[in-house]
Structure 1
Amino acid sequence: MKIVTHEVNNIRIAEVISDECIVNTTDEALQLLVDLYYQEFDKVILYAQNLHPDFFDLKTKMAGEILQKFSNYRVQLAIVGDFDQYPGKSLRDFIYECNKGKAVNFVPTLTLALD
């Protein structure tokens, strides 16, 4: 796993890069969040392929639990990926609602995540 630091308008953003799944459980997500939080990152960028597939199955409640933790720590999260590969109206609605706010955004590119 590699952390790339971006700074946009004096805001520190951590881009988490890995060739493997790094968030398999809610506890792993929390540990990553806490590690980045204490490194004074204000925002985090994760890639969809680094999240366990259960994250995108809303019945598991994994997404809700992880996003709640980011919200509690007041760390904004952008998830980059192609979300059309995940079926289900519920997930599309969930992504749409998240993207209406500022806490969590699902975006197709790193450039949009940095914006």
Structure 2
Amino acid sequence: MNITVNQKGSSNVAIIESDEVVIGSVQDALDLMATIQYNHDGCYKLLLHKSAIAESFFDLSTKLAGDILQKFTNYKVNLAIVGDFSGYGSKSLKDFIYESNHGKQFFFLPDEQAALAALHNVR
């Protein structure tokens, strides 16, 4: 796993790159947030590629997405997930992504530039 920080003004976004699944459980999400905070103090915005998240996250019936995003909410950490989500047929997931993208904490976007723009605009 490689972590770099993209800075724009006073906004810092941790970009996590990995060839492996980084978040496969609630504990993985907590560990990732702790790692970012320990190594990059004051960085409460994370950008993660879809491939670094377990596929079960995108099956809303597992409740993994809700449980993980609740932890991000509790710790006031913003998250952008980058990737192609068009291959998922679930209407519930599409609605979930749509609603998330119209909020201010979680984003499901097609590329890093869009994700960085969204995260840097969050206050």
Report the TM range for the smaller structure's normalisation. Answer: over 0.9
Cα RMSD (Å) = 1.0
* Cα distance in structure 2, aligned partners of 1:81 and 1:7: 22
Q: TM-score, normalised by structure 1?
A: 0.95
Task: Specify which of 43, 46, 50 is matched with residue 44 of structure 1.
Answer: 46
Paired residue total: 115
- What amino acid is the match of 2:82? V
Matched with 2:34 is 34
* Cα distance in structure 2, aligned partners of 1:34 and 1:70: 11
Matched with 2:114 is 112
- What amino acid is the match of 1:100? H
Deviates more, 1:36-45 or 1:74-83: 36-45
* TM-aligned CA deviation for residue 89 of structure 1: 0.3
* TM-aligned CA deviation for residue 9 of structure 1: 2.2
* Cα distance in structure 2, aligned partners of 1:73 and 1:67: 10
Percent identity, aligned pairs only, is 44
* Cα distance in structure 1, aligned partners of 2:58 and 2:112: 19
The answer to whether the aligner puts 1:71 opposite 2:68 as a matched pair is: no
Please show how residues 80-95 of structure 1 align to structure 2 within 5 Å: 80-95=82-97
- What amino acid is the match of 1:80? V
Is the Cα contact below 8 Å between 1:98 and 1:105 reproduced in 2? yes
Deviates more, 1:30-39 or 1:78-87: 30-39
- Matched residue of 2:86: which SS? helix
Q: TM-score, normalised by structure 2?
A: 0.89
The answer to whether the aligner puts 1:21 opposite 2:58 as a matched pair is: no
Is the Cα contact below 8 Å between 1:8 and 1:114 reproduced in 2? no
Deviations 1:23-68 (A, max 9, x none): 1111111110122133321200011110000000000000011111
| Structure 2 gap segments, 5+ residues each | 118-123
- What amino acid is the match of 1:48? K
Matched with 1:102 is 104
